[in-house]
Chain A
Amino acid sequence: MIEHARPFDLAADRCGPSSSPIIRIASRGLAPLIQIIGLYVFFHGHYSPGGGFQGGVLLAASIILLRMGLGFANTQTVMPSGWTVPLGAVGGLIYIGTGFFAVLCGGNFLDYGVFPMPWLDPPHLHSYGILFIEVGVTLTVMSTLVAIFDHLLDG
Chain B
Amino acid sequence: MSWLIEVFLFVLMVVSALVALRSRDLLAAAVTLSLFSFMAAVIMASLGAIDVAFTEAVVGAGAVGVFNIVAITLTTRESRD
Structural contact, A152 and B58, CB atoms closer than 8 A? no
Structural contact, B63 and A60, CB atoms closer than 8 A? yes
User: How many residues on B have C-beta within 8 angstroms of the other chain's C-beta atoms?
Assistant: 21
B25-45 with Cβ < 8 A to chain A: 27
Question: Shortest CB–CB separation between residue B62 and chain A, in angstroms?
Answer: 5
Taking beta carbons and an 8 Å cutoff, which residues of A are in contact with B? 1-2, 4, 6-8, 10, 41, 49-51, 53-54, 57-58, 60-61, 64, 68, 145, 148-149, 152-153, 155
* Complex partner residue of B66 from A10, A49, A54, A61, CB under 8 angstroms: A61
Task: Give the interface SS of chain B, mostly helix, strand, loop or mixed.
Answer: helix
Residue of B nearest to A50 (CB): B54
CB pairs A–B below 8 angstroms (11 shown): A4-B77, A6-B73, A8-B69, A8-B73, A50-B51, A53-B55, A60-B63, A145-B63, A149-B66, A149-B70, A155-B74
Give the tally of cross-chain contacts (CB within 8 A): 51
Structural contact, B78 and A54, CB atoms closer than 8 A? no
Docked pose: A4 CA to B63 CA in angstroms: 23
For the complex with contacts A10-B73, A49-B53, A148-B67, 17 further pairs of A-B residues with Cβ separation under 8 Å are A1-B76, A1-B78, A4-B27, A6-B73, A7-B27, A8-B69, A8-B73, A50-B51, A54-B54, A54-B58, A57-B59, A57-B62, A60-B63, A61-B58, A61-B63, A64-B63, A152-B67
Query: Which has the most chain B C-beta neighbours within 10 Å: A7, A61, A68?
Result: A7
Question: Shortest CB–CB separation between residue B65 and chain A, in angstroms?
Answer: 10
Docked pose: A57 CA to B57 CA in angstroms: 11
Residue of A nearest to B51 (CB): A49
